[in-house]
Amino acid sequence: MKKNFYNIIKGKFLVSDDAFKNWRFIIFLSALALMMIASSHQADKKVHQIARLSNQVKELKSEYVDVRMQLMQTKMESKIIKAMESRDLFPSEIPPQKVIIKKSE
């Protein structure tokens, strides 16, 4: 056990006769580690993008509510009456009447 540990620390497994399979395994592990690092970076990018987009959605929702409130205020009858007074248009004093047309044969 002690001998194997010293051989690993000294690196004899990299220069021995069957070192080729050890090198292949080390290269495989290195490639796997690089793929894991790249994958985690991609995941981080996605998380940041999702956070940025959710902030944009919140801003757009609040802007929508604000514009809808402004629209509702401008559609109010009192606001329309005030806006039309500058053009000398006033609401009718006479209530509307229903016109009924009867067909004659």
Q: What is the pLDDT of residues 64-90, one digit of tens each?
A: 999 999 999 888 988 888 888 888 888
Quick check: 7 pLDDT over 90? no
Let me know if residue 93 belongs to a domain: no
Let me know if residue 100 belongs to a domain: no
Mean pLDDT to the nearest integer, 38-47: 98
Structural domain for 55, as ranges: 2-85
Quick check: 8 pLDDT over 90? no
Let me know if residue 62 belongs to a domain: yes
Distance (Å) of CA 36 to CA 28, 31, 102:
12, 9, 83
Percent of the chain with pLDDT over 70: 99
Let me know if residue 90 belongs to a domain: no
State whether residue 71 is helix, strand or coil: helix
Let me know if residue 92 belongs to a domain: no
Let me know if residue 104 belongs to a domain: no
Total number of domains in the chain: 1
Let me know if residue 105 belongs to a domain: no
